[in-house]
Structure formats: structure tokens, C-alpha cells
Amino acid sequence: MNSNTEEKKTVEIGSDLIAPPWAKFRKQMLGSFPSPFKSDNDSLADGISLAIRELDKLKPESDKGSAFLGTNSALTIDFENVKDSSLDPKMSTTGEVIKQVIKMFEGLPNWGHPLTMNNVNPQGNTAAIVAAVLSEIFAPNILEGEYAWNVHQAELESAGILANLAGWKPKEAGCIYTYGGSGCWTYHLKYALTRVLPDSRNKGIRTDAKVICSQQAHYTMLNSTDWMGLGMDNIIRIKTDVDTNAMDLIHLEEVLKDCKARKIPIASVVCTMGTTDASAFDPVEKVRELIDKYPNPEGYGKAILYCDSVIGWSWIAFKNYDFKLNPLGFSDAVLPYLEKNYNAIKGIFYADAFGVDFHKTGFSPYISSAFVYRDATEFESLLSRGPSVYLQPRSPYNPLNYTLEVSRAATGSLAGWATLKFFGHEGFQSVLGGILENKVYLQSEMKNNSEMVCVNPEDYGFVTLLRIYPKGVYAQFQFDRELQDPAFRHDLIKHNKMIHLIGDKLFEWYRSGKKINDQCTPYLSYSTGFRATEYNRDMKDPEAVIYAIKIFPLNVHITPEVMNHTLVCIAAARDEVMAHQVVKNTYV
């Protein structure tokens, strides 16, 4: 039916006094669906434009304003009664609903605000956001060719670009955009179980195959082993080096040797490439050698080597950077960090698969994670289910035959692809290097305050972990004793509690819009144990761990002035905590 007949009928019904009410309501609603035709007053274009302008009203005037949206930072949800909700008998209007949606954004962290430095939560870039929004409008479904048509180029080309960066043959590789770094972990585990336990797809998992990862691995290992049905008890944790936090190869070899002797198959070994706080990278090349040295017993497939590189992946964009000529002019302090990070991440070459979170160090909106595999023929045939009776193959690319998901929005693939296209090598290099320039500046400024100490000076990543001590305490000296000497365990715990209170004070200030030097205070976070003390390597003593304030300047709008202001605010929060009489008695 073409538009003219549809419109005419509706008009006739609308002008007809005996038209049934449903037809009137339906006619009213039509204006709130996007026009399928070219139109100068499409409700969608107008609605989006209006909504963005309304949403922008929640932004502060300048960097002096708060790091959350709007003016009311309180949690306004009535948690007791919020579920006591039912469908309205009457219909509403698009405008009214959008107004209510915008209201929900009141108080939300403003991820782009230069004072937002709490975690790996970067603001998405405009190309990626727009690309993602477009996929919501025309809804390509990348489950197969017929519903995605040319849009599935985004996934295929991403696979090629990412494989090329890893040093793989791009035409032989593949990728699947899925639900986050956790989804990538789960995909790798399915790949591993299918390869190592060939019967498992039909008979279920009947063998306790092991998944090996380091003590610093992300907790999503629990999600994946649990949901995949392998069981969390089948994870083996490898010790990490006290200084580098990387996987201890001697311990790994012991475990592999022991499993081999007992005829226990290994499903996979996971190298974490950039842990959240310590930015540790596991030695992939050496791990590959060990996997090859201790193959699985007869009857089982070869173990998978997976790189959980969802944070660290983007350092790979420094491939081909001339660190000697330094064409982008990074400072002498930052240049060696860039090179170290690149040298650490390039080990993904040795993996069977790696994970990419564009929403972390790819400056893209959620959810845009890519699980990238080296051997597409193997992966796709191992997991193949054969064609569906509902759908007919209309293109050579029909990933629904082997994906976990059935329908898959193109949102993530378009966001990731748009970012790759927009950034190029130069963009990634400038943004990542720029973060480290700010970090290095922050750490050099910290040296001017002897009550502060950076407790992760060896690490080359984005985050600065800081401890601040009471007035007059020489932080470096005090921290060294707390780190090494069990005689200072009491001091350590006392100061951990203080860090905890300072962290909460800073959060309270951020949420209440407190100002220092006429500027709002930063949105930071803290770690309640980013590492153990040296005498507590086996973590038997849960309290002998290092607490620290976390500064994660993963934000393109940050300037050196913001770094200085941050240090001023941390010291002020310390003073406030110390001034509190009760606290003073408890901690000093």
C-alpha cells in the first residue's frame, strides 16, 4: 500500500463521525513514528534535535560547574515503591515521554567533564555516537546478510583492521561484536571448550577442563565459567610478580606440568593485557611457548590462548610509530611509557583470540566490544549450527550460524568501526599519549607535596594511585615501611582507613557540588586493595593490602590545571577528615 492511500483512508476515518476510537488514536500516534518518506517535518529529526538541546541544558556552563548533569545530584528514585507501577490506561505524547527521559539524566556523571576521572569511563566520540544512533533508526540486524545488507561491512572491516594491527592475516581472521569485555571472555571460553572437548556441544561438559589466568585477571572469569557451565572451581589462578603484577611464568609452568602429569586438559590460558588498576600485561609470547611445550593429553584439542586485552588493546595503534624520531613530539618522560605499552600489547600476535572494548580505551559509547579471532575458518566451523529454517542466506556473511546471540544490533559495530575510521593511528596515538602527558604532569606535581606518594610508579598505564598521609608525615618513607615491614601493619591499616574516608569525602563533595578555589571538586574513586604488602604475597592477611585514591584521567578535556586542582582537593579532603574529632581519635 502506498502512502497516499494510507493517508487518505486515515483522513476519511478521522473526519468520519462514526469512526471508531481506535482509528482516531492510531491516527494520532502515526505522527510519532518516523516518516518512511522524505519529509521536512519528520517527528524523528525534530524529536532528536529537541531532545539533544534539552539534554544539553543539563550541562554546566563551564569547567567550574559540577561533574554531574543538572543541579540535583540526589538519587531521587523511590526505591521502596518504584516497582509499584502499571501501564497507563491513556496514551501519552512523544514530547512528554522524552521530557521524562531527560529528567532521568539529572545527576548522572558527565563523562566528558574534565573533573570526571573515576575509572575507565571515557566520553564517546561524536562519530561513534552518531553512527550508533543511526543504527537505532534503521535497525540493521547483523545476525545475517538479509537484515544487515551493506551495514555488516562495519563488522567485517573491523575484523580486518584489528587483525592487521595484531599482525595477523586479515582475510583469515574474524570478529564478533558482542556484549562487553565479559562477552568476549565468554566467547573465548566457548571457543576453548568446543576445541578442547569436542563432544561438549552435544553431550555437555563432562570433563573438568581448566581455565588458567593470573591473580590479577578480571572477575568476569567467574561470570564466564559459571554461565558456560564449566564451573568456577575449574579456574586456576597463577601468582603474579610483586613489582610488575604480571603472570609468574615459573608458577604457570608448574601448573601446566602438573595438569599434564595428571592427564587434566587445559581449556585455555588467559593473558590479561592491561589490568584495571595496575595496568599489568602478561607475557603472551612466553605463555605461548609453555602451552606448546605441555600439549593436552591425547583425545583433547589444543588449548586456546586468549588475550583479555579489552583495556590495553588500543596501545597497538602505536604499531609503526617511530619512537626515535617521535614525529608527534611526545615528551621525554612519556615516550618510554608509550614504547613499553606498545611492546607489551604487541604480544596479542601470539593469541588465538583477543578482546577489544571500544567503550574503554576506544572512546566509544556502549556496547561496542569486539571478540577478534585469528582463524575464522576454524572458529566459525567449530561453532557452526547450520542454517536456520526461518532465514535464507542472502549474503556470504551470516554470523547467526555461530554466534551466541541471534538478533544483534549493529550499534556496537558501527560505533567501533566509526572510531577506527575517525581516529586512525594518529588519533589513537595523540589521545592515548595525551593522557599520559597529563598523568606524568600530575605525578611530577605530586612530588611537591611530601605528604603524598604515588604507589604505582612502575606502571605505564593511565591510572595514578595516590596515598596521602597526615600533615607532617613524610609519605614516601612511611609508605615504604608500610609496604615492606610487618611491624608497620598497624600504621598501614590506620592509614588505609583514612584513605577510605578521604575517598568517601571526595565523593560526597563531588555529589554535593562543593567548590574549592571557585571550582567544583573532582569525581575520583579509590581502591581498597590494589595490591598486597610484600610480606603478604599470598594474600592470607586480607587487611595487609594497599588502599589508594585513584585518578584515572582518561578524558580528552583534561588539562594540567585540572591535575593541579585535583591535588589541592585531595589535600583539602585529607584536612577535613583529619579535623573531624572522632576520626582523629580513631586514626591518629
Ligand X SMILES: *Cc1c(COP(=O)(O)O)cnc(C)c1O
Residues numbered 557-576 forming contacts with ligand X, rule: CB under 6 A: none
Alpha carbon separation from 41 to 94, 173, 236, 238, 415 (Å, rounded) = 15, 45, 60, 61, 27
230/567 with CB nearer ligand X: 230
Residue type at position 407: S
Q: Which part of the chain contacts ligand X (CB under 6 A), choosing from 58-66, 305-313, 379-387, 487-495?
A: 305-313
Residues 553 and 117: beta-carbon distance below 8 Å: yes
Q: Transcribe 560-579 into DSSP letters.
A: HHHHHHHHHHHHHHHHHHHH
Tell the smallest beta-carbon distance from residue 32 to ligand X (Å). Answer: 34
Tell the smallest beta-carbon distance from residue 311 to ligand X (Å). Answer: 4
Residues numbered 203-232 forming contacts with ligand X, rule: CB under 6 A: 218, 220
In what helix (H) or strand (E) does residue 453 lie, and over which residues does it extend?
A: strand 452-454
248/308 with CB nearer ligand X: 308
Tell the smallest beta-carbon distance from residue 412 to ligand X (Å). Answer: 11
Q: Cα angle vertex 151, ends 145, 157, to 5°?
A: 100
223/401 with CB nearer ligand X: 223
Q: How far apart are CA 303 and CA 352, in angstroms?
A: 10
Strand partners for 527: 548
Alpha helices (H) along 488-559: 489-512
Tell the smallest beta-carbon distance from residue 182 to ligand X (Å). Answer: 4
In what helix (H) or strand (E) does residue 418 lie, and over which residues does it extend?
A: helix 411-446
Q: Which part of the chain contacts ligand X (CB under 6 A), choosing from 56-64, 177-185, 258-266, 331-339?
A: 177-185
Q: Nearest Cα to 280, choosing from 245, 326, 316, 325?
A: 245
214/398 with CB nearer ligand X: 214
Tell the smallest beta-carbon distance from residue 308 to ligand X (Å). Answer: 5
User: Would you call the peptide bond into 468 cis, given omega within 30 degrees of 0 as the criterion?
Assistant: no
Strand partners for 123: none
Exactly one of 248, 308, 352, 459 binds ligand X (CB under 6 A); which one?
308
428/469 with CB nearer ligand X: 428
272 is a contact residue toward ligand X (CB under 6 A): yes
118 is a contact residue toward ligand X (CB under 6 A): no
357 is a contact residue toward ligand X (CB under 6 A): yes
Q: Which part of the chain contacts ligand X (CB under 6 A), choosing from 296-304, 308-316, 339-347, 527-535?
A: 308-316
124 is a contact residue toward ligand X (CB under 6 A): no
Q: Which part of the chain contacts ligand X (CB under 6 A), choosing from 31-39, 307-315, 397-405, 530-538?
A: 307-315
Q: Nearest Cα to 472, choosing from 547, 567, 544, 571?
A: 571
| Burial category of 158 from C-beta neighbours within 10 Å (exposed 0-12, middle 13-18, buried 19 and up) | buried
**Which residues, including other chains, have CB under 8 Å from residue 86's CB and lie 6 or more apart?**
none
Q: Which part of the chain contacts ligand X (CB under 6 A), choosing from 108-116, 175-183, 195-203, 237-245?
A: 175-183
Q: How far apart are CA 59 and CA 56, in angstroms?
A: 5
Tell the smallest beta-carbon distance from residue 274 to ligand X (Å). Answer: 6
Exactly one of 123, 125, 141, 182 binds ligand X (CB under 6 A); which one?
182
310 is a contact residue toward ligand X (CB under 6 A): yes
Tell the smallest beta-carbon distance from residue 364 to ligand X (Å). Answer: 12
Q: How far apart are CA 66 and CA 68, in angstroms?
A: 5
Tell the smallest beta-carbon distance from residue 539 to ligand X (Å). Answer: 19
The number of angstroms, rounded, from the C-alpha of 374 to the middle of its chain's C-alpha atoms is 22
188 is a contact residue toward ligand X (CB under 6 A): no
Q: Which part of the chain contacts ligand X (CB under 6 A), choosing from 67-75, 242-250, 272-280, 482-490?
A: 272-280
181 is a contact residue toward ligand X (CB under 6 A): yes
Exactly one of 124, 180, 362, 470 binds ligand X (CB under 6 A); which one?
180
277 is a contact residue toward ligand X (CB under 6 A): no
Tell the smallest beta-carbon distance from residue 421 to ligand X (Å). Answer: 22
Alpha helices (H) along 60-179: 94-104, 126-138, 145-148, 153-166
503 is a contact residue toward ligand X (CB under 6 A): no
240 is a contact residue toward ligand X (CB under 6 A): no
276 is a contact residue toward ligand X (CB under 6 A): yes
Tell the smallest beta-carbon distance from residue 384 to ligand X (Å). Answer: 26
Q: Return the SS3 of 516.
A: strand
73/279 with CB nearer ligand X: 279
Q: Which part of the chain contacts ligand X (CB under 6 A), choosing from 140-148, 202-210, 230-238, 304-312?
A: 304-312
In three-state form (DSSP H/G/I as H, E/B as E, the rest C), the secondary structure along 146-167 is HHHHHHHHHHHHHHHHHHHHHC
Exactly one of 141, 369, 411, 527 binds ligand X (CB under 6 A); which one?
369
Q: Nearest Cα to 282, choosing from 335, 217, 219, 224?
A: 217
Cell of 32: 510519532
Neighbours of 523 (CB within 10 A): 24
Q: Return the SS3 of 266.
A: strand
Q: Which residue is nearest to ligand X (CB)?
A: 181
In what helix (H) or strand (E) does residue 271 lie, and over which residues does it extend?
A: strand 266-272
245 is a contact residue toward ligand X (CB under 6 A): no
145 is a contact residue toward ligand X (CB under 6 A): no
464/536 with CB nearer ligand X: 464
Q: Nearest Cα to 571, choosing from 524, 529, 532?
A: 524
Tell the smallest beta-carbon distance from residue 131 to ligand X (Å). Answer: 19
Contacts to ligand X by CB under 6 A: 180-182, 218, 220, 272, 275-276, 308, 310-311, 357, 369
